[in-house]
Structure 1
Amino acid sequence: MVRTIISIIFAILSLNSFAQNEAKEDATILKKIYDTSLLNGKSYAWLDYLSNQIGGRLSGSVNAQLAVEWGERELKKLGLDKVWLQPVMVPKWTRGVTEFAYIETEPGITTNVPICALGGSVPTPIGGVKAPIVEVKGLEELKELGTDKIKGKIVFFNRPMQADLIETFRAYGGCVDQRYSGAAEAAKFGAVGVLVRSMNLRLDDFPHTGSMSYGDLKDMEKIPAAAISTNGADLLSSMLTLNPKIKFHINMNCRTWKDVQSYNVIGEITGSELPKEYMVVGGHLDSWDLGDGSHDDGAGIVQSMEVLRLFKEIGYKPKRSIRVVLFMNEENGLRGGKKYAKVAKDKGENHVFALESDAGGFTPRGFSFDCNDANFAQVQSWKPLFEPYLIHSFTQGGSGADIGPLKKDGIVLAGLRPDSQRYFDYHHAKNDTFDAVNKRELELGAATMASLMYLFDKYGTK
């Protein structure tokens, strides 16, 4: 009996000693990753080129193709085991000449306001459209008003993002339906156009674009849809209160073309022990056209590329095959994410983990995980490794749009979660430019992603 007890105690002590040694090794690897990213990182230089030499990368555009070629070229320079392009058909929509709008209080007396076409909108008739305005706070209020009060008017959706929600993505989700479905619903009641308050918590003069859908409307039923800046929205709302008979003029020249071929850009380090188990890290290569897409999602692209570069730099050889995927067409179709998942399924590839960065290049705060309780418990056990870098937030919830189609039983999906308080100041707007990204914050995010990839590669999924 005494020998049995001694053996049990010895086994427990051995396990504790092993766990402590593993934790020390992990902490050492993480420090190497962070040190390398902060002292010898490449993400910021990559972003400089992508943003300032290529610029906005709307799907189907010349710039999107230039970005594909750049991504392939840079991944090949890293000396990865494989680099290839995965063809995908994407929508092509062009904005045309700069949009123009004004508020008319009476004939000849006008006030210009900043607007931009929503992605996928039809153009206005030649010369624009001018009509009375009806203001609503959402789709339900639209239905309550009905055809009598809407027909022949421009519907102004003016529900702001909910400012008391600390999680700004929840605030965004709470009002984005008016941008996405507003035109389709307003057209059913005879509206001649739609104006949507920009999805932005800040008051400024930058209108924010984004995708919208006409649902099952026929071409002749579609009406033009534009976003108005938050300052412009407040001004218009105030003027409507004083004079409900004012009119609004919109002129837009956007156009939808036939789908064109583009590509996902993929690079791989083949696993040393489990090459048939795949781990993915990525972001979306396309962006909207108003700015240069530095936060959305140039930051995620270069951080994802940096993960593989950091592994090469510190000499870490992953057990599993790790792929970086630069997805095409997240903004207005998600074609790249869907195509990657379809090809993976058709080939019978076993994806065990996927991580996406698509929330800006701000200071990393943690991750959200779409996974079972056992995997989340494992993630929670790693929290002390991240605390020296002030990474504290590990939550169960969403992950990322591009990796979402990979979802299946057993896979862990994760999304990098930076501080989001400033993200919607830039999201889909003209001011989403390179100068809005902080080098150190970007590099901290890349190191944080590489650290999580290392831990899942070492310990696997549950």
Structure 2
Amino acid sequence: MKIVSLLFLFISCSFSSIAQSTKGIEDSLKLRTVFDMALLNGQAYNWLDHLSNEIGPRLSGSSNAQRAVEYTKKELEKLGLDSVWLQPVMVPKWVRGAKEYAYVESTPGSTRDINITALGGSVATPNGGTKAEVLEVQGIEDLERYGEEQVKGKIVFYNRPMRADLINTFEAYGGCVDQRYSGAAEAAKYGAVGVIVRSLNLRLDDFPHTGTMSYGELPVSQRIPAAAISTNDAEYLSGLLKIQKDIKLYFKLNSEQFQDVLSYNVIGEITGSEFPEEIIVVGGHLDSWDLGDGSHDDGAGVVQSMEVLRLLKEIGLKPKRSIRVVLFMNEENGLRGGNKYAEVAKEKNENHIFALESDAGGFTPRGFSFEADDAQFAQITSWNELFKPYLIHQFDRGGSGADIGPLRGGTTVLAGLRPDSQRYFDHHHSDNDTFEHINKRELELGAATMTSLIYLVDKYGIKGIPVDREPKF
């Protein structure tokens, strides 16, 4: 009897091993098909060409943002999805106005122009511009050291650079973005008349990089103008200040904040055949800053996300679970789209099991980062071998994406596509973020990588999320 039992166990294990092996082969072949179709017959590059070159920059509240909404909705409808709709969301409307101007004055009449751009949300300078002596600091924490006596009446120059010794460039960005976001609000408390910030860029060049900033609870009457200068100009100004403390800087901003306006998230769905109540989201943000044309940030993520659903239909997949593409509005200066999507999902008691965002540029994909519990992460990393033939197998725990962040909670797994990031901040939020800097093959590899992960999540589900569980958004 014992021998029979052992024999039965051996046979069972053998069949299980064969089944696992068969599944692995099936998945490997399916991923190969996805990559072939993306690289040989991809649509993402053509979509991005139109989005970048025919529409252009898509700042929330602008006519171009509305054109992008209309264009992407139309293109999703062409894919024959089960449903495509617009989700209304009120967004801020900030307008840059006439081009900014700035110069450094070393002695009366001796000036040098510098490259400058207003930070998103900044108030304008007075009509005649702002001119004052400059105080260089290495971060917000430096302000207390100098105090009101040395700050009052001056333009504060935040010059803490991104750390070049950090291989993860997003970590380097995170280490100094506070001076851009909160620098004006903090400097105003000490009586500064304006703020300029070293662009968040690891490269030395002449492109100033914008980005959102906030005055917090500061009354409108106390708000001061804030702008970024290029890294080359930051180096020049810092060097000049070392030998001459009394130099002056002049800058003129013409920005204006208007009332919120109506815009939309663009959503398309393939409804699940077995578990339609389990929702998988893939997306990027449709808005961009008004410099460049937003190709890397985040036109690439938009078209890659659209391509995921197109590729799934092309390979004839009838997903078990509902798969949605969500093109979020207003990530750059408010996150209104991401918050609205999560708010509606909660109201409807929708069951989101997985969300993937692409918002790190259209460069060569290296893998993903995940917000997941131990069991979920173990399940996901078991798929890692399938991605190794494509040299895309860096599966880490970490942040996912800003737009899907509001879905965080319960057992929902969040993921972010992680492309090679070394050149991303050369383009981020600047005139240098244009279509000519997109590599077609790298963009398509990213779309195929995302599609492959979504295919696996749909096929196997996510651990800890039974079909009959109480839905959580």
- After TM superposition, the score normalised by the length of structure 2 is 0.97
SS at match of 2:102: strand
Cα distance in 2 for partners of 1:342, 1:215 equals 23
Show the 5 A alignment for 1:309-388: 309-388=310-389
Cα distance in 1 for partners of 2:251, 2:76 equals 44
Question: Identical aligned pairs, as a percentage?
Answer: 68
Q: CA deviation at 1:293?
A: 0.1
Cα distance in 2 for partners of 1:335, 1:421 equals 29
Cα distance in 2 for partners of 1:189, 1:398 equals 34
Matched residue, 1:71:
72
Amino acid corresponding to residue 356 of structure 1 in structure 2: E
Cα deviation code 1:401-452 (max 9, x no counterpart)? 0000001111110000000000000000001000001000000000000000
Amino acid corresponding to residue 133 of structure 2 in structure 1: P
Amino acid corresponding to residue 158 of structure 2 in structure 1: F
Q: CA deviation at 1:171?
A: 0.1
Q: CA deviation at 1:144?
A: 1.1
Matched residue, 2:304:
303
Amino acid corresponding to residue 59 of structure 1 in structure 2: S
Q: CA deviation at 1:143?
A: 1.3
Cα distance in 2 for partners of 1:75, 1:391 equals 28
Matched residue, 2:188:
187
Cα distance in 2 for partners of 1:175, 1:241 equals 22
Show the 5 A alignment for 1:250-261: 250-261=251-262
Aligned-residue Cα RMSD (Å) equals 0.4
Cα distance in 1 for partners of 2:322, 2:196 equals 47
Matched residue, 1:274:
275
Q: CA deviation at 1:236?
A: 0.3
Matched residue, 2:159:
158
Amino acid corresponding to residue 100 of structure 2 in structure 1: E
Cα deviation code 1:193-219 (max 9, x no counterpart)? 000000000000000000000011001
Cα distance in 1 for partners of 2:273, 2:393 equals 31
Cα deviation code 1:13-53 (max 9, x no counterpart)? 01100000000000011001000000000000000000000
Q: CA deviation at 1:392?
A: 2.0
Matched residue, 2:239:
238
Show the 5 A alignment for 1:94-109: 94-109=95-110
Q: CA deviation at 1:263?
A: 0.1
Cα distance in 2 for partners of 1:143, 1:211 equals 24
Amino acid corresponding to residue 449 of structure 2 in structure 1: T
Amino acid corresponding to residue 126 of structure 1 in structure 2: N
Show the 5 A alignment for 1:422-433: 422-433=423-434
- After TM superposition, the score normalised by the length of structure 1 is 1.00
Cα deviation code 1:119-159 (max 9, x no counterpart)? 00000000201000000000111111110000000000000
Q: CA deviation at 1:304?
A: 0.1
Matched residue, 1:90:
91
Cα deviation code 1:313-354 (max 9, x no counterpart)? 110111000000000000000000000000000001100000
2:35 counterpart of 1:28: no
Cα distance in 2 for partners of 1:129, 1:290 equals 23
Cα distance in 2 for partners of 1:372, 1:295 equals 30
SS at match of 1:417: strand
Amino acid corresponding to residue 244 of structure 2 in structure 1: N
In the alignment, structure 1 segments of 5+ residues that lack a partner are none
SS at match of 1:139: coil
Cα distance in 2 for partners of 1:410, 1:11 equals 32
Consecutive aligned runs of 4 or more in structure 1 exceeding 6 Å deviation: none
Matched residue, 1:201:
202
Cα distance in 1 for partners of 2:451, 2:288 equals 24
Q: CA deviation at 1:379?
A: 1.3
Amino acid corresponding to residue 340 of structure 1 in structure 2: Y
Amino acid corresponding to residue 114 of structure 1 in structure 2: N
Matched residue, 1:40:
41
Alignment length (residue pairs): 462
2:438 counterpart of 1:437: yes
SS at match of 2:39: helix
In the alignment, structure 2 segments of 5+ residues that lack a partner are 464-473
Amino acid corresponding to residue 321 of structure 2 in structure 1: R
Cα deviation code 1:342-386 (max 9, x no counterpart)? 000000110000000000000000000001011111111111100
Matched residue, 1:227:
228
Amino acid corresponding to residue 23 of structure 1 in structure 2: G
